[in-house]
């Protein structure tokens, strides 16, 4: 019985309901809102482009290097090749099986050869 409402509480629809055209005030409010959203979007895009321009300018400043660096780098002695730190401390085998410089000095002397 809770699903049914008494008939005296429900107002019957006698005539069809038609679309009511918006008033001039509502149309003006919609136009102002559209204008505000458009201007906000335009300002946002200008700020994003300006920020991207600033970031790119700063990146160009940090990317520039001194041209004399290339000349000095050509004349410089070659640096030590990159090594594997895990192989250096003995955790994994070395990629190249070349002996370390201290390995020849630590070989035991065989007394039977003398």
pLDDT at 34: 98
> What is the residue extent of each domain of the chain?
24-61
pLDDT band of 10, cuts 50, 70, 90: confident
pLDDT at 89: 82
pLDDT at 36: 98
Q: Please write the tens of the pLDDT for every residue from 44-85.
A: 999 999 999 999 999 888 866 666 666 665 666 666 666 777
pLDDT at 63: 67
Q: Please write the tens of the pLDDT for every residue from 80-108.
A: 666 777 777 878 777 766 655 555 555 55
Buried b (16+ CB within 10 A) or exposed e, 25-34: eeeeeeeeee
pTM (2 decimals)?
0.40
């Amino acid at each position: 019985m809770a699903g049914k409402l008494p008939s005296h509480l429900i107002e019957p629809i006698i005539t069809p309901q038609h679309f009511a055209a918006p008033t001039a005030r509502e149309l003006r409010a919609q136009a102002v809102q559209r204008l505000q959203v458009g201007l906000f979007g335009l300002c946002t895009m200008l700020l994003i482009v300006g920020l991207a321009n600033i970031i790119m300018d700063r990146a160009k400043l940090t990317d520039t290097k001194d041209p004399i660096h290339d000349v000095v780098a050509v004349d410089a002695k070659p640096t030590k090749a990159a090594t594997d730190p895990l192989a250096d401390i003995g955790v994994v085998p070395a990629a190249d099986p070349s002996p370390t410089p201290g390995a020849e000095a630590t070989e035991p002397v065989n007394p039977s050869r003398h």
